[in-house]
A and B are shown apart, each in its own frame.
Chain A
Amino acid sequence: NAGVTQTPKFQVLKTGQSMTLQCAQDMNHEYMSWYRQDPGMGLRLIHYSVGAGITDQGEVPNGYNVSRSTTEDFPLRLLSAAPSQTSVYFCASSYSSGAPIAGNTIYFGEGSWLTVV
């Protein structure tokens, strides 16, 4: 079982460069989301999607774009990388919402380590 697959695992960018973090899930989940994890800050929601063609902003959306053309894929685009975007990025998916309700297991990818210099 692949679950949630993120690529790349590691990336170094120069300030101003753009890139896309890929996320794919093979569980036919409707809900997908992107979080970033910073030391001392926990995980914070960047963008989320409740289904193909539908996306919305989370807590820290500035500097990021997303799209959801298929159920399986939810790429995260950094438009013009800044050092403040140095972080670990996690993609997550679940059957229904991203809420912690009983029976709704949220699966996380293994993370993408991004350094912006």
Chain B
Amino acid sequence: TQLLEQSPQFLSIQEGENLTVYCNSSSVFSSLQWYRQEPGEGPVLLVTVVTGGEVKKLKRLTFQFGDARKDSSLHITAAQPGDTGLYLCAGGGSQGNLIFGKGTKLSVKP
């Protein structure tokens, strides 16, 4: 069974701080995606990483895919209240679907 473990589960920080959230698995994934979900809405795709060791940047967000393609991280620089939300990582399942981690709930206080 492919599982994705996310940590931390909850994170509460002040505006301007940096943070990193992690997504780990014992299985190899051909690619991983990161989503952000705001209250009352569905997940929205942030990025897809497909190559081991790949680093992608999206403004203040930096995504990294582990060399062995078993883990990924999301680093946010100078967090803002607008970054508040649930961050989900997802990998490909055996049914051609997404397997989601349980998410990291981020709260950025002004």
Interface residues of A (CB under 8 A from B): 4, 31, 33, 35, 40-45, 48, 50, 56, 58, 90, 92, 97-106, 108-111
Contacts and interface: CB of A to CB of B under 8 A. Distances in A.
The prevalent SS among residues of B at the interface is: loop
Interface string B60-103: 00000000000000000000000000001011110111101111
A109 B93 contact: no
B44 A42 contact: no
Query: Contact size class for B?
Result: 20 to 34
Given A101-B48, A101-B50, A108-B43, A45 B92 contact: no
B58 to A, nearest CB: 14
B97 A42 contact: no
A98 B102 contact: no
B95 A101 contact: no
Interface of B: 30-33, 40-45, 48, 50, 88, 90-93, 95-98, 100-103
A48 B32 CA distance: 20
Contact of B42 (A41, A90, A97, A100): A90
Nearest to A113: B40
Contacts of A109: 42
What are the 3 closest A-B residue pairs judged by CB atoms, nearest first? A108-B42, A100-B33, A97-B96
B42 A56 contact: no
Given A100-B33, A105-B45, A40 B102 contact: yes
